[in-house]
Amino acid sequence: MIITLGTGFGTALLMDGILLPHLELAHHPFSKGREYDEYIGNRGYLEAGPERWNSRLQKVIGALKVVFNYDHLYISGGNAKKIAFVLDRNITVASNMDGIRGGAKLWQRDHYNV
C-alpha cells in the first residue's frame, strides 16, 4: 500500500507489483465527519499543528493496518518529512522522486492483466 501526504491524501494498492483498480480514500469520512484530506492533508496539518497532526496520522495508519492488512506501507509526499514518531518496520518513507519513478514504471507495463 502507498499513501501520499501532501495537499491531500493519496492512496494506491499494489499486489505483486501490479496496480489494483483505483482506490480513492481522500474523500471518505474518517473522523467526526472530516474526510482523510481534511484530517491529515495539508489543511489538517495547518489546523492541528505538528503534534496533533502526527497523532492523527498514527490513527490513520492504525486504521489502514486493520482494514487493508498491508504487507508493507510506503509513505511519500511533501508532508511525509513531518512525521515525528517511530514507524513500524514494515513502513518506509519514500522520496517524491521514488513515487514519480514508480508511477512511470507502472504505466510502462500492462498492469491490469492479472
Give the position of cell 480514500: 25
Tally of structural domains, the chain: 1
**Does 113 fall in a domain?**
no
Q: Print the domain residue range for 77.
A: 2-107
Q: Residues 6 or more apart from 6 whose CB is under 8 A from it?
A: 41, 42, 77, 78, 79
24-57 pLDDT per residue, tens: 899 999 999 899 999 999 999 999 999 999 999 9
Per-residue pLDDT of the chain (114 residues; tens, 9 = 90+): 999 999 999 898 988 878 888 778 999 999 998 999 999 999 999 999 999 999 999 999 999 999 999 999 999 999 999 999 999 999 999 977 666 666 556 556 554 554
Looking at the domain assignment, is residue 12 inside a domain?
yes
Please indicate, yes or no, if residue 93 is contained in any of the structural domains. yes
CA nearest 3: which of 57, 71, 96, 76? 76
The CATH number given to whatever domain includes residue 24 is 3.30.420.40
